[in-house]
Amino acid sequence: MVCSVPNDIQREGLPLIHGRDVSRSFQGKEVIAAVRGLSFGIDEGRITAIIGESGSGKSTMLKLIYGLLGPDDGEVRYRGWRVPNPREKLIPGHDAMRMVSQGFDDLNTYANVWDNVASQLPNTDLEAKFHHTARILDRLRIAHLKTQRIADLSGGEKQRVAIARALVNEPEVLLMDEPFNQVDASFRETLQADIRHIVADTGLTVVLVSHDPAEVLSMADELMVLKSGKLVAMGKPEELYNRPPNAYTARLLAKSNILNVEEASLLGIKSNRAVAIHPEWVVLRIQPDAAFEVLAIRFKGFYEELSVGSGSFQLNAINTIPGQYPIGCKVDVTLSTYEVLPGEG
């Protein structure tokens, strides 16, 4: 689907969605640079998650991709064509994409589920309208709710209706802002599995924003990590988790311990760069004359997060046998592995 800007020329050989040096600021009391010099590529038929701490520019990036915001500098292209900005399009938002935002603002609270979804389709072919609506309600497992009013649904059910409404027109790209924000873990997992199936069956491209990487690690094919409006890492979840390029990514994905060169040397690591040690890489052994002591225990259900320290030097560790290391207990610390951070001093 071409959604074109006058006088634009299609660029060949780009990924499905391509950003080049994209910047966007907002004028408040002072100028806020929400995204700065972003260059990125998003491939077709994949799930890409934009992650980063609050205020890092994730939602701004999503709106720039969709064309709800225009960049101050740089450009975003879709299938090689420049995405029209709001001044260039009567109804902002790229025609090949649909966006599900936080808060379900688009849903008509007093209409029922069926009408909310079916209303997205034209009346020119009523049979097709019926067929498409029934199919998407089925795919999102909400067919049994079709006569219920939106106002009477749970947050998770509303989320499914919002996604069905976005997908009933068969867009090429689905954009989602914090889609799993207000839903519990088991709901999240089944919804993620359903979205994955739709992606596999239809070739849909999904771009989603999350401030909680744990919720998207198992779902995304690609991660883009934003920090203060800049892209600081991009890659597959496993690669970025196991080999984080910088301290920010290591902390965000793995709650990693970041040790400077001197701290690392205390654990016998010779490195001229800072290192990341994920809590699960810290191996503890009770030893009465050891230098480290268990300082704090945080109950996490089937495991505990421990803080162990030696003087002012502290590390976070994981313990999967609750009660094994009481507070005050002396422990020897070794590491199963560590990662040198190429992006750090």
Ligand X SMILES: Nc1ncnc2c1ncn2[C@@H]1O[C@H](COP(=O)(O)OP(=O)(O)OP(=O)(O)O)[C@@H](O)[C@H]1O
From 55, 74, 86, 92, residue interacting with ligand X (rule: CB under 6 A):
55
Q: Is there binding between residue 58 and ligand X (CB under 6 A)?
A: yes
From 7, 30, 54, 123, residue interacting with ligand X (rule: CB under 6 A):
54
- The nearest distance, CB 249 to ligand X, in angstroms, is 15
Q: Is there binding between residue 52 and ligand X (CB under 6 A)?
A: yes
Instruction: Give the range of 55-63, 70-78, 106-114, 161-169 binding ligand X by CB under 6 A.
Output: 55-63
In terms of phi and psi (left: phi > 0; alpha: psi -120 to 50; beta: otherwise), the region of 303 is beta
From 38, 47, 48, 59, residue interacting with ligand X (rule: CB under 6 A):
59
What is the side-by-side strand order in the sheet with 275-277? Answer: 257-259, 275-277, 339-340
Angle value at C-alpha 83, between 168 and 50, nearest 5 degrees: 70
- The nearest distance, CB 69 to ligand X, in angstroms, is 8
Which residues does residue 304 pair with via DSSP β-bridges, in sequence order? 299, 319
Which residues does residue 174 pair with via DSSP β-bridges, in sequence order? 98, 206
Q: Which of 222, 263 has the CB closer to ligand X?
A: 222
Angle value at C-alpha 241, between 240 and 244, nearest 5 degrees: 55
Residues 21-50 that bind ligand X (CB under 6 A): 26, 28, 32, 34
Size of the site for ligand X (CB under 6 A): 13
In angstroms, rounded to a whole number, what is the distance separating the alpha carbons of residues 140 and 163? 8
Q: Is there binding between residue 211 and ligand X (CB under 6 A)?
A: yes
Which residues, 6+ apart, have CB-to-CB distance to 27 below 8 Å?
none
- The nearest distance, CB 63 to ligand X, in angstroms, is 8
Kind of pairing between the strands at 222-227 and 230-235 = antiparallel
Residue type, 147: T
- The nearest distance, CB 227 to ligand X, in angstroms, is 10
Instruction: Give the range of 56-64, 159-167, 312-320, 327-335 binding ligand X by CB under 6 A.
Output: 56-64
Q: Which of 50, 315 has the CB closer to ligand X?
A: 50
Which residues does residue 27 pair with via DSSP β-bridges, in sequence order? 31
**Residues at the interface with ligand X (CB under 6 A):** 26, 28, 32, 34, 52, 54-60, 211
